[in-house]
Structure 1
Amino acid sequence: MEQISNNQIIKLGVVVDNLEEAFQYYVELFKLDPAKMRAPKPRSPESESSQAAPAPEGGNTPFVWHRGEYRKARCRTAIIPLEPIYLELIEPYDEASPWTEFREKHGPGIHFMTFHIDGFEEHIQLMESKGMPAFFKQEKGKERYAYFDSASKLGTTIEFKEIDKK
């Protein structure tokens, strides 16, 4: 593989300090219908647990891998549809995650841009061959995500998203 299989950006990931507040600003600014968006869920005591995540056992076992460790990398999100792409607003928990790292280093802002791809492992190898290794991978059953250490070369983090076609 010599190039990314798709050159259409589908999503921008935006780290925010307060999810509800940012969500409301987007609703008002663009006169969006909140019923057509995935709105933020309130925090609950159960969601505050920060136990380590188990390593995957193979197949489509859900997992999160961040900087060499399997863990829970949690955040709260809201989806803002702005055609032809969408924004994912992300409020990170105060624990190790790519979103917390970004917020601590840069404050709120655009963290990554996402491309749908086919061939997850091949794309990981491509990016590594270009000097941009993966530092975050997540499996969610039929969906896989990876963030790459691309900011120093491209000005932003690249995220690949693959969805099983079955």
Structure 2
Amino acid sequence: MESIENNNLMKIGIVVDNIEEAAKHYAELFGLELPAIRVPDLNRVPEHTESGYTWYRGTFIPGRVKLANLQMGPVTVELLEPYDEPGPWNEFKQQYGQGVHFITFTVPGFERHIDFVEGKGFPLAHKGEYGKGRYSYFDTIAKLGVTLGLQEIGEPKDKPVMPKAVEQA
């Protein structure tokens, strides 16, 4: 493998302070229907299994975030309002405030693409599996100016690998 096998940008993730206000402004500015806002159940305790997990910097986390998707041509703009708990979205908000957190590309062969990107010196920071899809983020801000995300939708093209949790002290 010599490069990531898709250079078509699919998704831009923007961390916002108030998702309801941000979604309203985007919808008004672009003449879009107000998107549904997904609000996770904060009382649900996630079970991390091979078919559904959220892993972040060596630990399984709830992976909760308020989320709204705006389809803008071929690109999805994903608005994210993080909760004050460990996770990539809250980490970004604490370090940078509101802003573009990630850009995502859809790839065939998720695990081999993770190996390729890590082999280029960008460690895997976040990985999630949700039934018929999987996504990952890499530590790329210092060199790319944004977090690189990869996703695969549908049946995996290679054998899924559930990350291991690092023992907590």
TM-score by length of 2: 0.86
CA contact (8 A) 2:103 2:146 kept: yes
> What is the letter of the counterpart of residue 123 of structure 2?
P
How do 1:67-146 residues align onto structure 2 when only pairs under 5 Å count? Answer: 67-146=57-136
Residues 4, 42 of structure 1: alpha-carbon distance in 2 compared, 3 angstrom cutoff: closer
Return 24-33 or 95-104, whichever deviates more. 24-33
> What is the letter of the counterpart of residue 49 of structure 1?
N
> What is the letter of the counterpart of residue 79 of structure 1?
N
State the shift of 1:138 in Å. 0.2
Describe the superposition over 1:140-165 as per-residue Cα deviations: whole angstroms up to 9, x where unpaired: 01101000111111111011010125
Aligned to 1:49: 43
State the shift of 1:84 in Å. 2.6
State the shift of 1:33 in Å. 2.2
Structure-2 separation of matches of 1:71 and 1:50: 12
Aligned to 1:9: 9
Describe the superposition over 1:84-129 as per-residue Cα deviations: whole angstroms up to 9, x where unpaired: 3120000011100100000000000000001000111101111111
CA contact (8 A) 2:13 2:78 kept: yes
Higher relative helix content: 1
Unaligned runs of 5+ in 2: 157-169
1:40 is aligned, of 14, 22, 37, to 37
State the shift of 1:72 in Å. 0.5
> What is the letter of the counterpart of residue 42 of structure 2?
E
> Which aligned runs of 4 or more in structure 1 are off by greater than 6 angstroms?
none
CA contact (8 A) 1:54 1:71 kept: no
Structure-1 separation of matches of 2:142 and 2:2: 20
Percent identity between the aligned chains? 43
TM-score by length of 1: 0.88
1:156 aligns with 2:146: yes
Residues 21, 165 of structure 1: alpha-carbon distance in 2 compared, 3 angstrom cutoff: same
Structure-2 separation of matches of 1:63 and 1:163: 15
Aligned to 2:18: 18
Structure-2 separation of matches of 1:127 and 1:160: 10
CA contact (8 A) 1:142 1:164 kept: yes
Residues 150, 50 of structure 1: alpha-carbon distance in 2 compared, 3 angstrom cutoff: farther
2:54 is aligned, of 64, 68, 85, to 64
Structure-2 separation of matches of 1:98 and 1:25: 24
Structure-1 separation of matches of 2:121 and 2:59: 21
> What is the letter of the counterpart of residue 155 of structure 1?
G
How many residue pairs end up in the alignment? 156
> What is the letter of the counterpart of residue 37 of structure 2?
P
Structure-1 separation of matches of 2:6 and 2:83: 31
- Report the secondary structure of 1:136's partner residue: strand
